[in-house]
């Protein structure tokens, strides 16, 4: 008996003309860990909803074909009955916590199914221990951090020991450490409990090596179903936006087949004699990758090595942005009119009355045209720092000096939409500039994730005074690679005009693509501040896949940079062999 079986399933949501799933036929065996891949809006979430019975029982719409989960036909068994065999974790974990305390949350599913008090107490205790959240049992759910909420929601899905677990972008709100922990946990569940796992994820590099199989969706139809290796070959040929950075690195360096994970990639490089010396890690800033420019590759890669490196003062830079900075200081720029930096935080403290300090004496000077990636674990103080920068919160100690308007884009772009049509949200000029004119008549809530983010960014930047700094809080949450590349492109375009940006992000790949300077926050303190390459090369968690494959050598963060290094290394090898 298959764990999940789809038989020619076609589904259309109510009031939609296009089907969300098209003739999907799929069989997932018990104990398999399957990864669902695809761009946003291609049917991944709908497939998960169909597997747990929410489609069609909860969402309605037109449903054809059949879905059976652990032998139960979802047309005959509602989600409540399927819930005993299927655990579900959706992306926004806050909406999945319905009780006030963690213990009550974990007990709810079993109580709903009529389990006795002894069975409930044992199951709650066991699942809490298994997921390492036993210390949270007496806490209120509204006090939990994003990572803790995600773990509690997963525990609530697992408390009934389901045979199948469905997860829809479970790491989208998690920092790299919590994200890796969650994937490790899923792998353990799969290997030790023989749990079938169907996981939808945008950051494929995180979980591809853990998967037995990858199913790719496009336009609601399955376009690939096979091993991770075959998926990478498919992505290289048919859907480059689904390629992992490691696969892209190998493709650019002329190596084949694409590696499924860091371990496989390093093994291959070792065999080829291309594994670079670890002693290169983080040394000689500016000597390797930073000296090069990458033309024609998704708008180029920022010159990260030069950020803040020349005189040891964060924020001092050279190059094109420094020119625009000088221009602005002379008063010739289009942003701000002051002589000081666009934004300066000095000894900034943010303390909750009778609570902890969220920020502890943060110093930060932002120069015109500078793009800064703000990284750190959930609860490190990134969002609070941005709110202070934009004046949404007043510091309890220290000062915030702004050289003009600081536009802040909060985490949920939907919070900015007040109207039924895009064109009512902002001025026609701003709509044109944001490249959203063709969406003018659409409802903002019907836009894709990337379009919503662009619209929200245009809304906060629209108005009389052009912002000198744009602060973005987790802008890539739930975005596919294509939308991320567009956002990075937009930030680069703004930087070229002298507008600075601070981006709080958990996504090292995005940070590497758009920022030249990175700051690592921990417990409210800026514990590292320097060029992005110094921060993201050589780390375990706060590192791109390319940097992990190359061991941080040469400060290469992105596939293009890594490929250049590998090609140089290969040429050096060839020369040595020729001499020999």
Partner 1 sequence: MAIGATLLYRRLASPLHATRASVAAGWVCALIAATLLSESPLALGALALGVLGAGAGAGLWRELRRTLRTVLIVAIPIVLVNVLVYHEGLTVFARLGDLGPFGQGDLTLEALVYGAVIALKVGLLMLITTLASLAIDPDEMLAALRRRSFRSALTASLATRMIGVLAADSQRLAAAQRTRPGGGATGARAHVRLLSAIVGSSLDRSMDVAATLELRGFAGGGRRGGGRAPRRPFSRHDRAFALSAASVLALALLGRLAAAAPFDAYPLLEMPVSGATLALCLVLPAAVALPLLDRRGVEP
CA angle 294, 297, 298 (to 5 degrees): 125
Q: Report, in angstroms and rounded to the nearest whole number, the Rg of the chain calculated over CA atoms.
A: 25
The region of 139-147, 200-208, 240-248, 558-566 touching partner 1 under the rule CB under 8 A is 139-147
Handedness of CA 228, 232, 234, 240 (dihedral sign): positive
The region of 25-33, 98-106, 257-265, 433-441 touching partner 1 under the rule CB under 8 A is 98-106
Among 37, 52, 249, 566, binds partner 1 (CB under 8 A): 52
- Smallest Cα–Cα separation from 363: which of 389, 324, 337? 389
578 scored as a contact of partner 1 (CB under 8 A): no
Residue 273: what are its φ and ψ, rounded to 5°?
Answer: 75, 25
Partners of 521 in the β-ladder:
376, 526
Closer Cβ to partner 1, 101 or 318, answer by number = 101
Largest separation between any pair of C-alpha atoms in the chain: 78
Using alpha carbons, list the distances in angstroms from residue 385 to 347, 376, 483, 504.
Answer: 12, 12, 25, 9
Among 62, 98, 129, 339, binds partner 1 (CB under 8 A): 98
Please list, in sequence order, all residues whose beta carbon lies within 8 angstroms of the beta carbon of residue 373, skipping any fewer than 6 positions away. 503, 505, 510, 511, 514, 515, 517, 518, 519, 532
- Smallest Cα–Cα separation from 106: which of 161, 143, 153? 153
16 scored as a contact of partner 1 (CB under 8 A): no
138 scored as a contact of partner 1 (CB under 8 A): yes
The region of 309-317, 322-330, 456-464, 493-501 touching partner 1 under the rule CB under 8 A is 456-464
- Smallest Cα–Cα separation from 411: which of 471, 485, 480, 483? 471
Q: How far apart are CA 94 and CA 96, in angstroms?
A: 5
Among 116, 240, 273, 331, binds partner 1 (CB under 8 A): 116
Applying CB under 8 A, the site for partner 1 has a residue count of 65
Q: Judging by DSSP bridges, how do beta strands 62-69 and 196-200 pair with one another?
A: unpaired
Among 6, 63, 416, 542, binds partner 1 (CB under 8 A): 416
Q: How far apart are CA 538 and CA 315, in angstroms?
A: 22
**In this structure, how many other beta carbons lie within 10 angstroms of the beta carbon of residue 185?**
17
Residues 312 to 371 in contact with partner 1, rule: CB under 8 A? 353-354
Among 419, 421, 571, 573, binds partner 1 (CB under 8 A): 419
The region of 28-36, 51-59, 64-72, 181-189 touching partner 1 under the rule CB under 8 A is 51-59
Among 2, 72, 121, 130, binds partner 1 (CB under 8 A): 121
Using alpha carbons, list the distances in angstroms from residue 422 to 340, 365, 409, 415, 479.
Answer: 36, 35, 17, 14, 20
438 scored as a contact of partner 1 (CB under 8 A): no
The region of 9-17, 100-108, 192-200, 479-487 touching partner 1 under the rule CB under 8 A is 100-108
Residue 46: what are its φ and ψ, rounded to 5°?
Answer: -65, -40
Minimum distance between the CB of residue 355 and partner 1, rounded to whole angstroms? Answer: 10
Among 226, 331, 340, 463, binds partner 1 (CB under 8 A): 463
Closer Cβ to partner 1, 289 or 422, answer by number = 422
3-class SS letters over 135-179: HHCCCEHHHCCHHHHHHHHHHHHHCCCCCEEEEECCCCCCCHHHH
- Smallest Cα–Cα separation from 174: which of 478, 470, 384? 478
**Bond before 257 cis per omega within 30 degrees:** yes
Q: How far apart are CA 53 and CA 67, in angstroms?
A: 8
Residues in the chain: 580
Minimum distance between the CB of residue 40 and partner 1, rounded to whole angstroms? Answer: 18
Among 191, 401, 412, 443, binds partner 1 (CB under 8 A): 412
Closer Cβ to partner 1, 169 or 529, answer by number = 169
Closer Cβ to partner 1, 280 or 490, answer by number = 490
Q: How far apart are CA 30 and CA 485, in angstroms?
A: 37
Minimum distance between the CB of residue 295 and partner 1, rounded to whole angstroms? Answer: 36
Among 71, 117, 226, 435, binds partner 1 (CB under 8 A): 117
Closer Cβ to partner 1, 142 or 575, answer by number = 142
Minimum distance between the CB of residue 3 and partner 1, rounded to whole angstroms? Answer: 17
Closer Cβ to partner 1, 131 or 253, answer by number = 131
Closer Cβ to partner 1, 426 or 549, answer by number = 426
142 scored as a contact of partner 1 (CB under 8 A): yes
Among 377, 405, 481, 517, binds partner 1 (CB under 8 A): 405
- Smallest Cα–Cα separation from 436: which of 415, 417, 464? 417
464 scored as a contact of partner 1 (CB under 8 A): yes
Provide the Cα torsion 544, 547, 548, 552; round to 10°. Answer: -140
The region of 137-145, 306-314, 323-331, 558-566 touching partner 1 under the rule CB under 8 A is 137-145
Minimum distance between the CB of residue 119 and partner 1, rounded to whole angstroms? Answer: 7
Among 76, 291, 310, 465, binds partner 1 (CB under 8 A): 465
Q: How far apart are CA 544 and CA 349, in angstroms?
A: 31
418 scored as a contact of partner 1 (CB under 8 A): yes
Residues 58 to 97 in contact with partner 1, rule: CB under 8 A? 58, 78-81, 83-84, 88, 92, 94-97
Closer Cβ to partner 1, 86 or 249, answer by number = 86
Closer Cβ to partner 1, 250 or 416, answer by number = 416
CB 456 within 8 A of CB 473: no
Minimum distance between the CB of residue 190 and partner 1, rounded to whole angstroms? Answer: 21
Give residues in contact with partner 1 (CB under 8 A).
52, 54, 57-58, 78-81, 83-84, 88, 92, 94-101, 103-104, 108-109, 111-119, 121, 138-143, 156, 353-354, 387, 390, 392, 405, 407-410, 412, 414-419, 459-465
């Amino acid at each position: 008996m298959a764990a999940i079986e789809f038989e020619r399933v076609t589904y259309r949501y109510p009031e939609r003309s296009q089907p969300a799933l098209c003739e999907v036929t799929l069989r997932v065996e018990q104990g398999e860990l399957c990864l669902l891949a695809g761009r946003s809006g291609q049917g991944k979430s709908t497939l998960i909803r169909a597997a747990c019975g929410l489609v069609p029982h909860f969402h309605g719409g037109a449903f054809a074909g059949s879905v059976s989960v652990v032998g139960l036909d979802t047309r005959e068994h509602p989600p409540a009955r399927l819930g005993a065999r299927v655990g579900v974790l959706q992306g926004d974990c806050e909406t999945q916590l319905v009780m006030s305390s963690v213990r009550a949350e974990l007990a709810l599913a079993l109580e709903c199914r009529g389990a006795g008090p002894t069975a409930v107490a044992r199951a709650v205790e066991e699942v809490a221990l298994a997921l390492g959240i036993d210390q949270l049992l007496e806490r209120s759910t509204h006090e939990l951090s994003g990572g803790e909420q995600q773990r509690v929601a997963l525990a609530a899905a697992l408390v009934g020991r389901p045979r199948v677990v469905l997860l829809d972008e479970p790491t989208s709100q998690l920092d790299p450490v919590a994200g890796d922990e969650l994937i490790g946990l899923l792998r353990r569940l799969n290997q030790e409990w023989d749990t079938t796992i169907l996981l939808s994820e945008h950051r494929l590099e995180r979980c591809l090596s853990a998967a037995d199989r990858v199913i790719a969706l496009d336009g609601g139809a399955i376009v690939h179903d096979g091993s991770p290796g075959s998926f990478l070959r498919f992505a290289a040929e048919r859907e480059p936006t689904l390629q992992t950075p490691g696969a892209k690195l190998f493709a650019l360096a002329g190596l084949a087949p694409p590696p499924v994970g860091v371990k496989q990639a390093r093994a291959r490089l070792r065999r080829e004699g291309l594994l670079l010396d670890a002693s290169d890690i983080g040394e000689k800033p500016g000597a390797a990758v930073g000296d090069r420019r990458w033309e024609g590759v998704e708008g180029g890669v920022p010159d990260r090595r030069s950020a803040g490196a020349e005189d040891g003062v964060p924020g001092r830079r050279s190059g094109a942005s420094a020119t625009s900075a000088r221009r602005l200081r002379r008063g010739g720029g289009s942003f701000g009119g002051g002589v000081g930096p666009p934004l300066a935080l000095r000894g900034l403290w943010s303390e909750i009355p009778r609570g902890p300090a969220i920020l502890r004496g943060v110093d930060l000077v932002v120069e015109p045209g500078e793009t800064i990636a703000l990284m750190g674990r959930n609860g490190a103080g990134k969002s609070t720092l941005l709110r202070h920068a934009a004046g949404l919160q007043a510091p309890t100690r220290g000062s915030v000096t702004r050289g003009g308007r600081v536009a802040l884009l909060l985490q949920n772009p939907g919070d900015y939409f007040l109207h039924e049509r895009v064109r009512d949200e902002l001025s026609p000029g701003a709509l044109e500039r944001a490249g959203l004119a063709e969406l003018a008549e659409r409802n903002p809530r019907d836009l894709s994730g990337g379009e919503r983010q662009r619209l929200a960014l245009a809304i906060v930047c629209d108005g009389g005074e052009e912002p000198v700094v744009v602060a973005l809080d987790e802008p890539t949450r739930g975005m596919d690679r294509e939308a991320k590349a567009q956002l990075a492109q937009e930030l680069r375009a703004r930087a070229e005009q002298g507008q600075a940006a601070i981006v709080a992000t958990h996504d090292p790949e995005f940070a590497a693509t758009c920022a030249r300077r990175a700051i690592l926050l921990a417990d409210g303190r800026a514990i590292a501040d320097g060029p992005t390459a110094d921060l993201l090369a050589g780390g375990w968690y706060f590192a791109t896949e390319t940097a992990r494959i190359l061991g941080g050598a040469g400060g290469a963060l992105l596939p293009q940079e890594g490929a250049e290094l590998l090609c140089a290394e290969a040429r050096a090898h060839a020369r040595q062999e020729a001499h020999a």
